[in-house]
Structure 1
Amino acid sequence: MSEQTLQDELKGAKKKSAKPMLWVSMISMVMFFAGLTSAYVISMNREDWVTFDLPQAFYISTFLIVGSSITLFLSQRFLKKSNLSASRILLVISLILGIGFIFYQYEGFNQLKSVGLYFTGKGSTVSTSFIIGITLMHVLHLIAGVIVLLVVIYNHFKNKYSATDMLGFELGAIFWHFVDVLWIYLFFFFYFIR
Structure 2
Amino acid sequence: MSEQTQTLEKELKSAKQKSAKPMLWIAMISMTMFFAGLTSAYVVSMNREDWVTFDLPQAFYTSTVLIILSSITLFISKYYLKNNKIAISRIFITLTVILGIAFVFYQYTGFNQLKDLGLYFTGPGSTVSTSFLIGITLMHVLHLFAGIIVLLVVIYNHFKNKYSPTHMLGFELGAIFWHFVDLLWIYLFFFFYFIR
TM-score w.r.t. length of structure 1: 0.99
| SS across alignment from 1:65 | helix
1:72-124 deviation line (CA, Å, top 9, x unaligned): 01100110000000100000000000000000000000000000000000100
Give the distance between the partners of 2:142 and 2:122, measured in 1 at CA: 18
Aligned to 1:184: 186
Structure 1: gaps spanning 5 or more residues: none
Once the 2 structures are TM-superposed, how far is the Cα of residue 62 of structure 1 from its aligned partner? Answer: 0.2
Aligned to 2:91: 89
Once the 2 structures are TM-superposed, how far is the Cα of residue 133 of structure 1 from its aligned partner? Answer: 0.1
Aligned to 1:69: 71
Match of 2:106 among 104, 107, 114: 104
1:127-152 deviation line (CA, Å, top 9, x unaligned): 00000000000000000000000000
Query: Which amino acid in 1 is paired with 2:17?
Result: K
| SS across alignment from 1:164 | coil
Q: Percent of pairs identical after alignment?
A: 78
Aligned to 1:171: 173
Superposed counterparts of 1:11-160, under 5 Å: 11-160=13-162
Once the 2 structures are TM-superposed, how far is the Cα of residue 51 of structure 1 from its aligned partner? Answer: 0.3
Give the distance between the partners of 2:26 and 2:112, measured in 1 at CA: 34
Give the distance between the partners of 1:3 and 1:105, measured in 2 at CA: 51
1:164-193 deviation line (CA, Å, top 9, x unaligned): 001000000000000000000000000000
| SS across alignment from 1:51 | coil
| SS across alignment from 2:124 | coil
TM-score w.r.t. length of structure 2: 0.98
Give the distance between the partners of 1:163 and 1:3, measured in 2 at CA: 28
Query: Which amino acid in 1 is paired with 2:54?
Result: F
Once the 2 structures are TM-superposed, how far is the Cα of residue 125 of structure 1 from its aligned partner? Answer: 0.4
Once the 2 structures are TM-superposed, how far is the Cα of residue 6 of structure 1 from its aligned partner? Answer: 1.1
Query: Which amino acid in 2 is paired with 1:183?
Result: W
CA RMSD of superposed structures (Å): 0.6
Give the distance between the partners of 1:138 and 1:91, measured in 2 at CA: 21
